[in-house]
Structure 1
Amino acid sequence: MKKTILFFTGLLALTSCKTTKEEKPVLAQHVAVQKQYEIDSLTVKKHLYTLASDEMEGRKAGTEGIEKAAQYIEKEFERIGLTTYKDLTSYRQSFEHKGANMFNVIGVLEGSSKKDEFVVVSAHYDHLGMKKSGDDKIYNGADDDASGVAAVLTLAEYFKSRGTERTVLFVAFTAEEMGLVGSKHFGKDVNPTDFVAGINIEMIGKTSSYGPKTAWLTGFDRSDFGKIIQKNLEGTGYKLYPDPYPKFNLFFRSDNASLARLGIPSHTFSTGPIDKDPHYHKVTDEASTLNVSNITETIKAIALGTTTIINGTDTPTRVVVE
């Protein structure tokens, strides 16, 4: 009803004077501004608690639980208005791995002036599944990585409401926990020269070791991607730092690595206190242990920090993987 009122209000205003070709874009721009989605904690919480619920049974690749998660992501992509990837007839990029049927979930937001240049916004939607015994058997994977998928869905809605110059692929990768299986399969089917950047998001539900309103980036020194983000965040109060855990080799342990090995400047945003997280890969990694405000603020920072890349103003240098 609100959209209808906005439309007819604009129409009545135009009928009071002569309509010219110059006036039409002004009306379209006004209506578009009214529709812009602003990132909010209620939407983030809905995505997080749904994906990390017991109903999803730990989202292990190849199980009924991950099927439920995939259906939720697909419905959100459809609601937002994303299209399918290449010649796929659905949002699923299906393949077989060790006798199991698996699928990445991909939604596309086509760009305008640079639609043949691609940016990937991703997170893995799988986790560890269920234990065979115990009072709590479900590895809910709230921080790892329902928080990242919540970010992908929220960013999809954010950028869809604004439009982009480059084409953005919003991807939920499967089987990351089995060795980056989904992202490796995705990487087999791309022309690296067409891909400008990979924006991967993992474990953003807790305050980072750098303090509140901070995140860190894997492989910071391997391209100027991180410096672009830092520049765009100046004056916001939110700061991005290099990965504080070099001994863990995290740049190669998340889905960004599958694209980075192709030369694409692909990095992972995180706030995870890896060395001091009692819930990592435990059944206690539940949504109630996370800070929804932290997730929301980090998503806002990623949105602002990456906007110049997504809209074609900045192009990161190719990544160094040696």
Structure 2
Amino acid sequence: MKKYLLVLLACGFLGQAQNKPVISKAEVVRIETELASDKMQGRKVFTAGIDSASVFIEKEFAKIGLDYYEGLTSYKQEFKARGRVANNVIGVLKGKSKPEEFVVFSAHYDHLGTTSGGNDTIYNGANDDASGTTAVIALAQYFKELNQNERTIIFVAFTAEEVGGYGAGYFSKNINPDKVVAMFNIEMIGTESKWNKNSAYITGFDKSDFGTILQKNLKGTNFNFYEDPYPTEQLFYRSDNARLAAVGVPAHTISTSKMDSETNYHQLSDEVSTLDLDNMTEIIKAIALSSETIVNGKDTPTRIEKLKRN
């Protein structure tokens, strides 16, 4: 009788799981391969290559059916950086009961462009950060299909991270930080972490209970989020989360990058062939699952202490 009951419970659980949207490896591979392709020419800001990447992301957001960000008439948020025009790409999924509370999923879609000489001249940036941008698009599709977000979700691909974080800076200055409940910034998730598969780390873990909430939501799975194992690298302050964290938002970066041994970091060799796409898919699934109580309004991470200015 006990064995029969366990079988029924297992079937019930699997049935519920099967009703959820699927984050498929095939889609992850499709998006990642396009963003890191040679035709994007390394996605350097102010080039035709990054314009092509922007168009691709815009088309993905349109296909998913995301709304425009407040005040915009397209998915492009344009601004001036270094005297030239650049743009973030933003899509919105309006919350059902708490539309004025925002959850941000972000990554930067720019990279280093090209160089001259040699057989390979393109910095494809497959891991840095086509992997994070792929995750943002996949998560937008997931939450659109799930259709259970009580809070508004903002999906943003930042530009100009590699030259000073201009995209995140502009975005942060043009949003009310008091409305942003949490920010999931996703940076370099295409390789295995120091703990191998089914794991990632969260920067600034001790600065809010964001990471603790994510860990709680993953109990019973084989995936683990850890504290940042590279504190001397100051990673919390080196990615696009830092701008909103400075004004009190529980804004953290999720990554697997082994900062002491990433041989392809900022190298021409950062190509799709070097990524573990199976593991990357599982990481995106874990982000989706771990964020659900924040997205649906059940959990609210504690605020980060605002950066003191002189």
Structures share a fold, TM > 0.5? yes
Q: 1:302 aligns with which of 270, 277, 287?
A: 287
Q: In 2, Cα distance between the equivalents of 1:174 and 1:151?
A: 16
Structure 1 stretches of 4+ with a deviation exceeding 3 A read 33-36
Kindly report which structure 2 residues correspond to 1:243-282, keeping only aligned pairs within 5 A, or say none.
Answer: 243-282=228-267
1:4-39 deviation per Cα after TM superposition (whole angstroms, max 9, x unaligned): xxxxxxxxxxxxxxxxxxxxxxxxxxxxx9995310
AA matched with 1:82:
L
Cα contact 1:35–1:161 (8 A) shared by 2: no
1:216-272 CA-to-partner distances (Å, cap 9, x unmatched) read 000000000000000000110100000010111000100000110111000000011
User: Which amino acid is 2:130 matched to?
Assistant: A
Q: Secondary structure at the match of 2:123?
A: coil
What residue number does 2:9 align with?
none
The SS at the match of 2:281 is: helix
Aligned twin of 2:181: 196
**Quick check: 1:105 aligned with 2:89?**
yes
Q: TM-score normalised to the size of structure 1?
A: 0.88
Q: Normalising to structure 2: TM-score of the pair?
A: 0.92
Counterpart Cα distance in 1 of 2:19 and 2:73: 28
Give, in whole Å, the separation in 1 of the partners of 2:245 and 2:116. 36
- Other-structure match for 2:11: none
Looking at structure 2, the residues matched to 139 and 62 of structure 1 have their Cα atoms a distance apart, in angstroms, of: 15
**Is 1:313 paired with 2:292?**
no
Aligned residues: 290
Deviation at 1:192, TM superposition (A): 1.0
1:184 paired residue number:
169
Aligned mates of 2:255, 2:262 — CA distance in 1: 13
Work out whether residues 216 and 241 of structure 1, in 8 Å CA contact, stay in contact via their aligned partners in 2: yes
Question: 1:64-79 residue pairs with structure 2 within 5 A?
Answer: 64-79=48-63
Superposition pairs for residues 95-174 of structure 1, below 5 Å?
A: 95-163=79-147, 164-174=149-159
Matched with 1:84 is: 68
Secondary structure class of the residue paired with 1:221: helix
Aligned equivalent of 1:224, options 209, 212, 232? 209
Separation in 1 of the partners of 2:76 and 2:138? 19
CA distance in 2, matches of 1:66, 1:195: 28
Distance apart, 1:188 and its partner CA: 0.7
Distance 2:49 2:286 in 1: 31
Letter aligned with residue 261 of structure 1: A
The letter for the 2-side match of 1:138 is I
* Letter matched to residue 306 of structure 1: S
2:8 corresponds to which residue? none
Letter in 1 for 2:294: I
2:278 paired residue among 288, 293, 298 = 293
Higher gyration radius (CA): 1
Preserved contact between residue 205 and residue 294 of structure 1 (Cα < 8 Å):
yes
SS at match of 2:33: helix
**In structure 2, do the counterparts of structure 1 residues 316 and 165 end up closer, same or farther at CA, with 3 Å as the change threshold?**
same
1:236 corresponds to: 221
Matched residue of 2:182: which SS?
strand
| Aligned counterpart, 2:193 | 208
Identify if the C-alpha distance between structure 1 residues 84 and 35 changes in structure 2 by more than 3 Å, giving closer, same or farther.
Answer: farther
SS for the counterpart of 1:276 is coil
The 1-side partners of 2:133 and 2:210 are apart by 21
> Match of 1:147, SS?
helix
For the residues of structure 1 that align with 2:188 and 2:72, how far apart are their CA atoms? 29
Deviation (angstroms), 1:87 = 1.4
Decide whether the 8 Å contact of 1:80 with 1:160 is kept in 2.
yes
Give the C-alpha shift of residue 205 in structure 1: 0.6
**For 2:253 and 2:244, how far apart are their aligned partners in 1?**
11
AA matched with 1:146: A
Residue type at the aligned position of 1:250: L
Structure 1: segments with no counterpart, 5+ residues: 1-32
Q: Which amino acid aligns with 1:143?
A: N
